Amino acid sequence: MTDRQAGSTSPKAQHIAAEVRRRIVEREWRQGDRIPDEADLAIEFDAARATVNKALQLLADEGLLDRKRRAGTRVAIDPVRKATFTISIVREQVEQAGMAYSHRVVAQRRSPIPADVAARIGLPEGEMLVHMRAVHYGDGRPFQLEDRWINPRAAPELEDADFRQLNANEWLVRNAPYLRAELAFSAENANRRDARLLRAQPGQALLILYRTTWNDLGPITTVRVAFQPGHLVRTENGQSRSD
Amino acid sequence: MTDRQAGSTSPKAQHIAAEVRRRIVEREWRQGDRIPDEADLAIEFDAARATVNKALQLLADEGLLDRKRRAGTRVAIDPVRKATFTISIVREQVEQAGMAYSHRVVAQRRSPIPADVAARIGLPEGEMLVHMRAVHYGDGRPFQLEDRWINPRAAPELEDADFRQLNANEWLVRNAPYLRAELAFSAENANRRDARLLRAQPGQALLILYRTTWNDLGPITTVRVAFQPGHLVRTENGQSRSD
DNA sequence: CAGTGGTCTAGACCACGAG
DNA sequence: TCGTGGTCTAGACCACTGG
């Protein structure tokens, strides 16, 4: 008795989530409707309540369900869905596209930060940080341009690193784990320097990514990444992958 | 050692996750290191293994840990972190910015799809879909411009809707839940129409978002959203929990 | 006040894959 | 082969909040 396990690899929670998702998408359960509580669903699916809970939390994280104690679980009125994209290492992006990676450091020196960078990173204007610019290439063609400020106080081992040799992106990822990150996408017309380094035309629209990271010592780094003209940053969501 | 236990409303899994995160960020456990297995951590934190499992899965989802059966759990070598942003309703974005929302439908008609749209949505070129363009305003100033194609076959109740009255964005969100979505960010120089409708200059860099959604009947809608010049799309990730 | 979700536990079996 | 994570279960207590 109680050997439910259908022998096959059946993540029961996934199954329940998929079924609930189906009922929502096929409008069996409509926006705003209250759905059966965990105990009832546990009976229907012959599962423990914890398993049902896991499934429903998954859907709530996706934004499909609204759950409240006492009030029960309802199909979200405005399914505010979340999209995720992964921040990977530039080199990997390039190599995954089947191109040969290379990079070149254009400048590296200590320098006082200007006002706009100060605002982004949350340090006073004029603070001395390490400033560097680098271009990343795929098959010799410019792929992206990074303009980065690094805070040595939050990355103590920084002194040892020579970014003319090493990829700053990679060094930071490997040596300065962060607790919090902020990202923002924008579009800017290429200025003269962008255009020169990316071999683009001044004025061309560039996708810009600003990223700032913090650990418990403060801000680690802030970077403006300019992608080559026409570059797409893709994200995917909907079906959650984890399991 | 085991005097954690606040006795209050302290989600134990969160506490464990935070502590493991701390050890990683402070480089007590370094990239590539194997960390104690779930059973050991359960003892250390005086918790059930399921609770430890939950905490570690959370960190693995964040990209901070790599977990493999038999091989154990290691601190990720390349912490491929994930960033999330929420897809909310335009009206809500505008209103949250403290502006008065309005919108205007510029065009709506059935029309055969051109090649680029066909590619995005995965339907044959020339297929007849509903095409519409609308501008969304905040305090009377253009906020974003949408150019949308809707597939009536995947949104059966579409016939009833008149998007000249109703906000298509909102109608779709409420009436056509999707199973899968694809998003992509790009930058484009404003063309004449973009410029006119957004009251911008031709050639100005615009942040563009392409979004396509599917349900079990096929593609529902694909849209190109052009944001007003200078618009930022922000995302946040990293630590999001308590403290 | 009481129903509902939030969370934890102790135990169990299983699947995967490194050694 | 067998240690490790993946998942489930049955039961329990608690926190929140709607009625």
Residue B200 confidence (pLDDT) above 90: yes
Nearest chain A residue to B179 by CA distance is A238
Residue A91 confidence (pLDDT) above 70: yes
B155-166, pLDDT tens digit by residue? 888 877 777 777
Residue B2's pLDDT is what?
31
| Range A95-110 average pLDDT | 93
The answer to whether B100 faces chain A, any CB pair under 8 Å, is: no
Residue A211 confidence (pLDDT) above 70: yes
- CATH pick for A90-242 out of 3.40.50.720, 3.40.1410.10, 3.40.640.10, 3.30.43.10: 3.40.1410.10
Closest CA to the C1' of D4: that residue is B70
| Range B21-49 average pLDDT | 96
What does the alpha-carbon distance between residue B128 and residue B131 come to, in Å, rounded to a whole number? 9
State how far residue A22 is from chain B, nearest Cα, in angstroms. 9
Residue B52 confidence (pLDDT) above 90: yes
pLDDT bin (cut points 50, 70, 90) of residue A4 is very low
Residue B159's pLDDT is what?
73
| Range A132-142 average pLDDT | 97
State how far residue B41 is from chain A, nearest Cα, in angstroms. 21
Phi, psi of A132 (to 5 degrees): -145, 155
Query: Which one has a higher pLDDT value, A235 or B51?
Result: B51
Residue A225 confidence (pLDDT) above 90: yes
Q: How far is the CA of A113 from the C1' of D4 (A)?
A: 49
What does the alpha-carbon distance between residue A92 and residue B3 come to, in Å, rounded to a whole number? 44
Of B85, B187, B232, the CB nearest to A83: B85
pLDDT bin (cut points 50, 70, 90) of residue A191 is very high
CB B202 within 8 A of CB B191: yes
The set of residues, in sequence order, having a beta carbon less than 8 Å from that of A193 and lying 6+ positions away, is: none
Residue A9's pLDDT is what?
54
- Strand D nucleotides where any atom sits below 7 Å of a protein CB: 2-12, 14-19
Amino acid (one-letter) located at B23? R
Return mean pLDDT, chain A.
90
pTM above threshold 0.75? yes
The set of residues, in sequence order, having a beta carbon less than 8 Å from that of B53 and lying 6+ positions away, is: B38
Query: Which one has a higher pLDDT value, B235 or B65?
Result: B65
The answer to whether A236 faces chain B, any CB pair under 8 Å, is: yes
Task: Indicate the class that CATH gives domain B2-75.
Answer: mainly alpha
Cβ separation B184–A208 shorter than 8 A:
no
Query: Which one has a higher pLDDT value, A134 or B157?
Result: A134
State how far residue A43 is from chain B, nearest Cα, in angstroms. 22
Q: Give domain limits for chain A.
A: 2-75, 90-242
Cβ separation A78–B87 shorter than 8 A:
no
Residue B31 confidence (pLDDT) above 80: yes
